[in-house]
Structure 1
Amino acid sequence: MIRTLAKATFFIAVSALPISALAQNHSKKTATKTAATYHYAQRAQAMQFADDLAERRGLDREWVRQAIGQARLLPQVPRLVLPPARGTPKNWAAYRARFVEPTRIRAGLRFWQDNAEALARAETQYGVPAEIIVGIIGVETLYGQHMGNLRVIDALATLAFDFPDAHPRAAERRAFFQRELEQFLTLMDRTGIDPHTPRGSYAGAMGLGQFMPSSWSRYAVDFDGDGRIDLWRSAQDAIGSVANYFVGHGWQSGMPTHYAVAFDAATLQLDALLAPDILPTFSVASMAAQGAHVQSEGAQHTGPLALVELQNGAEAPSYVAGTENFYAITRYNWSSYYAMAVIELGREIATARATPR
């Protein structure tokens, strides 16, 4: 990562709620005013956290206190992390249409063409197909067009100290963002970057591949060989880092992500098959014994599988048998819908690339 991040141009990655333009503008003005006048130096809890962090990590106490103290509350952020209201129907077709669409496919084709050498090198070195890497970066940021324009430290501090209690896993998520704030400041200290400079998403994710600070620390690589890691402006670093992330989460070279599955209505035990959710648990034989038959080459698969359900609103759900590589994609975002969007976007771009024009 380089020291001139302030000169880079970033884009807001979060979508507004469906409210009127007038209300939306009013909300932005109110949020900006509030965020500008409330700093975490005013919060005893935040300052105690800063002192503890400095001691744990061996960082300069005043530097940490200043970094966190100058972080601003972002009032719009807590509502963005709340889950949809209960009863909100999931719809795979609608979700897919948001990401597997002409604009993103064209942008992905350009990205692949511009970075063909790095993608091929990553595939060879890490065993992760280029289309999966391209799919991730496309879904995450539309190839750098939507990397987020919020100060990372503001987003992380807001979620570390003002995570909404209404969330069903509030304590767990609050602790997660406190750890991410700690990782972020450790990273900034190590790289010599002003912690108030980096920009990212409302959750504190950064760069083309939207890495959280802990993922940056563990998996980011200098794939372009220039002696620094820059996930914002080096597509090569982002490509190598995404591939390394997958390897770190169990990606197996040459394994498909999923297979088609057919049901035997007479023996189907759907509840039992869905109980492990997307965690690969069943063999081909044990799935068949419960009425789900893996199709074609999947019948020869030797590893564990999960029955993945994709709801389609009022229509019948779709099902696939997900492999350990499907599960690895969900470690990027814990959603089977997300994983399928990544897979299908990458596949569409690969098809477009192979199609004579």
Structure 2
Amino acid sequence: MPKTHRSIALIATLLIATCAIPAGAKPEKSSKTTATRQPAVLYASRPEALQFADDLAARRDLDREWVRQAIGQAHFLPQVPRLMLPPAKGTAKNWRVYRSRFVEPIRIRAGVRFWQQNQAALERAEREFGVPAETIVGIIGVETIYGQQMGNFRVMDALATLAFDFPAAHPRAKERTEFFRRELEQFLSFTNRSNTDPFEPRGSYAGAMGLGQFMPSSWVRYAIDFDGDGRVDLFNSPADAIGSVANYFRGHGWTPGMPTHFGVQFDNARLQLDDLLAPDILPTFSAASMLAKGAVLDAQGAQHTGPLALVELQNGNDAPSYVAGTENFYAITRYNWSSYYAMAVIELGREVAAARGTP
């Protein structure tokens, strides 16, 4: 989830300190490569990994041998560092191609079914958290096609690989390594407290889990028991996933009733495009200051009183698309630090709403 917000990052959000990951969570059987098929190169042979285990045990007051055993038995997954590398320089971003991967008939039909099956939970989440049902539906659809693709990597293996073998060629390798070491620490602390086998949960190659693909730290902070059964289950309980996604957005500043973005056109005679794009997608400008720099908002946007950002979506060799993003647009990018991702979530949710006849 890079801070270069225009890049299409792939890390999404996850874990809770008081509720266990359900032992019955099952991975998909169709994944072509899984963690268990990799050569058994274990982190027990890596002194720096075991030193990390010792430090973690001391910081978290965990049993030292348990932590060393868990990290030592984790498998290095050689394909995972490759998947973390950004596209080669010169690769053109293309919003229309990106959109077509997510806003398409299979996801829309699955989204209609998901909405119908979980309408009560979606309506309750909207009432309690102020997050529209279509936004929650868009997130879960983009992330996992409503639970169809939750990942088949052992989370322990994926996090250990990224904590100790994040690719040095990545432009933000040091920061990413630190991020994944923190996620590994959160994951092990959680599984220890909840008496869960750390090698049981499956998820993405980045260690994200469940219908909403939460990273461990996000599960700790934002996952909730929304179905009232006394435990948090983001793998098998759509209600828990729905409530947790809504809670995540509330925790990242979602404002009920605020649109995510407005239409924008340019007055080329006074356009200061570089200035408008300089803050990236961080809402910085008032509607009036955008107008002064040549960005003409639609009628609703011109009346907006909060900060805005000019969001650029490149279309390969064609002209880019632009919208004026609000603080709610920015909140969606906290789930995945990409404006392309946020627009895909918004547009998938709208298409699902339209397909089911939601006003």
**TM-score, length basis structure 2:** 0.92
Structure 2 contact 25–201 (Cα < 8 Å) conserved: no
Partner SS, residue 312 of structure 2: strand
Q: What is the deviation of 1:2?
A: 5.1
Structure ranking higher in helix proportion = 1
Structure 1 consecutive aligned stretches of length 4 or more whose deviation exceeds 4 Å: 1-4
Three-state SS of the structure 2 residue aligned to 1:272 is helix
Map of 2:229 onto structure 1: 226
Corresponding residue of 1:91: 94
Report % sequence identity: 73
Tell me what 1:10 maps to.
27
Question: SS at the partner of 2:356?
Answer: helix
- In structure 2, the partner of 1:116 is 119
Contact 1:2–1:228 (CA<8 Å) still a contact in 2? yes
Residue 54 of structure 1, aligned match among 54, 57, 82: 57
Higher relative contact order, structure no. (Cα contacts within 8 Å, ≥ 6 residues apart): 2
The verdict on how the C-alpha distance between 1:13 and 1:174 changes in structure 2, with shifts beyond 3 A counting, is: farther
In the alignment, the residues of structure 2 paired with residue 115 and residue 355 of structure 1 have an alpha-carbon distance, to the nearest angstrom, of 14
Decide which of 129, 134, 137 is 1:134's aligned counterpart. 137
Letter in 1 for 2:52: F
Which of 233, 239, 243 is matched with 1:240 structurally?
Answer: 243
In the TM superposition, residue 68 of structure 1 has moved relative to its aligned partner by: 0.7
- Structure 1 pair 32/150, CA: closer, same or farther in 2 (3 Å)? closer
Q: CA deviation at 1:13?
A: 9.7
Report if the CA contact (8 A) 1:13-1:141 is conserved: no
Specify the alignment match of 1:265 in structure 2. Answer: 268
* Counterpart for residue 17 of structure 1: none
Q: Aligned equivalents of 1:11 and 1:280: distance in 2?
A: 39
Q: What is the alpha-carbon distance in structure 1 between the residues aligned to residue 181 and residue 22 of structure 2? A: 26
1:12 to partner: Cα distance: 7.6
Map of 2:44 onto structure 1: 41
SS in 1 for 2:310: strand
Which of 171, 175, 178 is the equivalent residue of 1:172?
A: 175
Q: Contact 2:49 / 2:71 at 8 angstroms: preserved in 1?
A: yes
Q: Provide the rounded CA distance (Å) in 1 between the counterparts of 2:293 and 2:124.
A: 42
Deviations 1:147-182 (A, max 9, x none): 001000000000000000000000000010000000
Question: 1:18 corresponds to which residue?
Answer: none
Cα distance between partner residues in 1 of 2:158 and 2:266 = 45
**Deviation digits for residues 257-284 of structure 1, max 9, x if unmatched?**
0000011010000000000000000000
Residue 336 of structure 1 aligns with an amino acid whose one-letter code is S
User: How far apart, in 1, do the equivalents of 2:309 and 2:90 lie?
Assistant: 25
Cα distance in 2 for residues equivalent to 1:98 and 1:250:
28
1:1-357 superposed matches below 5 A: 5=23, 7-11=24-28, 35-354=38-357
TM-score normalised per structure 1: 0.93
The amino acid of 2:49's aligned partner reads A
Contact in 2 for aligned 1:12/1:148 (Cα 8 Å): no
Cα deviation, 1:269-310, whole Å, max 9, x if unaligned, reads 000000000000000000000000111211110000000000
Q: Give the C-alpha shift of residue 355 in structure 1.
A: 6.8
- Do the aligned residues in 1 keep the contact of 2:110 with 2:145 (CA within 8 Å)? yes
Q: Which runs of 5+ in 2 are unaligned?
A: 1-18
